[in-house]
Structure 1
Amino acid sequence: MKMTLLLRAFCHLALFAVLSFACLNAPLHAQSVAVMVNGEPITSFDIEQRSRLIQISTHKTPTRQQVIDELINEKVKVKEAKKFGVNPTSADIDQQYASMGARMRMSPEQLTKSLASQGVRPDTIKARLKADLVWGSLVRGRFKDSLLVSDRDVNEALRNSGEDQSKTEGFEYQMRPVVLVVPRGAAASVMESRRKEADALRERVQSCADATRIFKAMRNATIRETVVKTSADLPPPIRDLLDKTPVGHLTPPEITRQGVEMVAICGKKATSVDTPKKKEIREKMFAEKYEKKSKDYLEDIRKSAMIEYRQGGPGKKGE
């Protein structure tokens, strides 16, 4: 009897070991290594996940090799960045992930749920975010001098653009923000009453001195220190609003979380030092320089990377 029980126990253990081995090896088979990059694997699962992500974001179906190349690039970028001490924490990546969700008007949890509904894990997109983050910091940090765009280059590009030079000037604005405070949770009627009060104040204020005197004497109101901005610092809708408001007057009231806000225009003068057009040209020239430097740098580090295709690739070792 004891022998029979021992045999049964042995059989159960043997069966458990076989099943455990099978279960452990099933994911390994599903995640078979397709490429090794500097000793780090890119699995078939990584490729499948990235393919889905690209399809979602571009509405195009990439080839397998395009996906593999993107993943290889990210591996070599992250390794190169680590050499220079650029290694963001998990919290940094989570913050990037949250910012991405915010741009899509979703919380991190909502973004994760949306991705999951399309078969994409959050780690897939976080890997891309990490590579983009470290690479941008690395290229800008290592090559900042060669990426600089001089005023001379901008002015020359502006002359060659054929733009009407009289239309390329901007303004420097001196402003004092003012707020009629409305407590959070106040009734809509309170906000409306303060908005009407703001409209009346726009009629009274004829100079920044008026604005300072009136708002400093008011209860539940504040006037902030002078802020100086150029046209290049401001988005077009704000520029248009400031251009339409005469010096010494208040901009139309705007409802915000603090209450009813306006801006007193204390000064406005034309400037050609920094204008929206110059900013546009400068950003375009910087982007072109960055793109070229980034491409050349990536090509160099890929040449020295150990890249070994295991299956589903061109079957070459190194590049």
Structure 2
Amino acid sequence: MTDERRMRMRMRLTPLLGMALALGLTVTDVAAQAATTSPFAPVILVNGLGVTGYEIEQRIRFMQLLRQPGDLRKEAEKSLTEDRIRVWAAKQAGITLEKDAVTQGMSEFAGRANLSTEQFVAELAKAGVDEPTFRDFVTAGLLWRELVKQRFAPRVQISDSDIDRAMLMESSRGGGTRVLISEVILPAPPGQEAEAHAAAEKISQLRSESAFAEAARQMSAASTRDNGGRLDWMPLDNLPPALRPILLSLKPGQASAPIDLNGAVAIFMMRGLDEHGPASTRPQTLGYATLALGPAGSEQGAQLLQKAASAKRCDDLYSVVKGLPVSLVTRPDPAPQGALPKDIALALAGLDIGETTILTRGAGQELLMLCSREAAVDEAKGETAPNRDAVRSRLQNERIGSYADNYLADLIANAVIVRP
């Protein structure tokens, strides 16, 4: 059936409605009577636009070719009804397509199957699907895409923070292996390493979570001391690679042997293991910044912490030291976990971007903030770094898509849909 013939059949809907009024019939009566006489007559009326029995059969065959599951007749009627609403809404908004837009859209769709438009249409024909069915399907989609773009794109603003969160490996929390651990970090300044190791050995022998928590409160220099050294669930990937096998070897309630850090000694106790998947060895690249606070309890350190409380990003730390030497802030280039100082890599494991913790390093303290966390790139394997522009575009499309879904639901709820 040609496009012209199909258009004529649809345009017959208005005279049919006039006839219905003249004879005192309902729209349903007209559709029902028409359906018994011709496969090209409307069997569903959507805001005055008809869906024919022929189109339903064609959409069913199209769905079969695309291997769509479910009740295909029901799905075909649903998708055609939605297409009519999309076309109707676009017409109401004055949306038109540029020349050759449909042809290009058909080519793009066929390209998903690695076929040219001609090859794809030939495959459709083998399944009994005519070319106008494919064209109508693409046209409705293009009109809707242009409508929602014009209607919702101006509302969508993607910030750098949104992109950071989307690129976070923590966005996949819940998959893979997670650990629930407690920590005790003992200072080991020069000349006091032996004493720190002796104390760490005693703590490593503890087999009670309560006793370990008490040791953390009494002796730990980590910011978790007030919470008994307890950390929240975290993906194993977030921890330094060298620490992962150590933790996986522990049973709940068992503490690790002392682990040397930069000017400190760490002991960990396993409290829980959540194995949603295999233990990962996936490397990460971390970016961070530090703010030197000076000796613990110093007045300058307290003032800096107060100012830093409002910092949401690493760049904000430079405002915190305004009027002071900018060297108080250090921000190394992002580096693989394994290349970071052990104490920093460990402290970053429990942080999301923009979060901070306090490190005790020797006689001084530092505020540590996580700037970025991304999958490490292995250029030898042809891997490339995440593209922020691509992530921004994906987030924009996702948000516009969410608006579009809600908009379509409203249009369907308010549409005049008549079935015989």
TM-score, length-scaled by structure 2 = 0.39
* CA deviation vs aligned residue, 1:242-300 (integer Å, no higher than 9, x gap): 98xxxxxxxxxxxxxxxxxxxxxxxxxxxxxxx51645653453343123211110012
In structure 1, the residue matched to 2:413 is: 303
Distance change in 2, residues 1:306/1:286 (3 Å): same
Correspondences of 1:260-275 after superposition (within 5 Å): none
Of 129, 139, 145, the match for 2:138: 129
Correspondences of 1:51-130 after superposition (within 5 Å): 51-88=60-97, 91-130=100-139
Q: Give me the identity figure in percent.
A: 25
Structure 1 letter corresponding to 2:40: Q
| Structure ranking higher in helix proportion | 1
**Conserved? CA contact 1:54–1:62, under 8 Å:** no
Gaps of 5+ in 2: 1-33, 172-234, 239-283, 289-332, 335-376
* CA deviation vs aligned residue, 1:162-200 (integer Å, no higher than 9, x gap): 773438999xxxxxxxxxxxxxxxxxxxxxxxxxxxxxx
Residues of 1 paired with 2:391 and 2:80: CA distance?
Answer: 33
1:88 deviation in Å?
1.9
* CA deviation vs aligned residue, 1:83-114 (integer Å, no higher than 9, x gap): 22222267321222233334434343332221
Q: Higher RCO, 1 or 2 (CA under 8 Å, sep at least 6)? A: 1
Of 286, 292, 312, the match for 1:166: 286
Residues of 1 paired with 2:36 and 2:74: CA distance?
Answer: 23
* CA deviation vs aligned residue, 1:15-71 (integer Å, no higher than 9, x gap): xxxxxxxxxx99952334220111111011111110111111134253422211111
Local SS of the residue matching 1:36: strand
In structure 1, the residue matched to 2:317 is: none
Residues of 2 paired with 1:111 and 1:237: CA distance?
Answer: 38
Local SS of the residue matching 1:80: helix
More deviation, 87-96/62-71:
87-96
Residues of 2 paired with 1:30 and 1:157: CA distance?
Answer: 50
Structure 2 letter corresponding to 1:297: Y
Distance change in 2, residues 1:95/1:283 (3 Å): closer
Distance change in 2, residues 1:71/1:237 (3 Å): farther
Structure 2 letter corresponding to 1:302: I
Larger radius of gyration: 2
* CA deviation vs aligned residue, 1:98-136 (integer Å, no higher than 9, x gap): 333344343433322211110101111211111111111
In structure 1, the residue matched to 2:55 is: 46
**Conserved? CA contact 1:35–1:42, under 8 Å:** yes
1:141 deviation in Å?
1.5
In structure 2, the residue matched to 1:230 is: none
Local SS of the residue matching 2:286: helix
1:158 deviation in Å?
4.0
In structure 2, the residue matched to 1:152 is: 161
Of 144, 148, 152, the match for 1:139: 148
Distance change in 2, residues 1:238/1:34 (3 Å): farther
In structure 1, the residue matched to 2:386 is: 276
Structure 1 letter corresponding to 2:149: R
Distance change in 2, residues 1:45/1:58 (3 Å): same
Structure 1 letter corresponding to 2:64: Q
Of 284, 293, 296, the match for 2:403: 293
In structure 2, the residue matched to 1:186 is: none
Distance change in 2, residues 1:296/1:120 (3 Å): same
Root mean square deviation of aligned Cα: 3.6
**Conserved? CA contact 2:35–2:42, under 8 Å:** no
More deviation, 61-70/118-127:
61-70
Residues of 1 paired with 2:97 and 2:128: CA distance?
Answer: 26
Residues of 1 paired with 2:93 and 2:152: CA distance?
Answer: 13
1:301 deviation in Å?
1.6
**How many aligned residue pairs are there?**
190
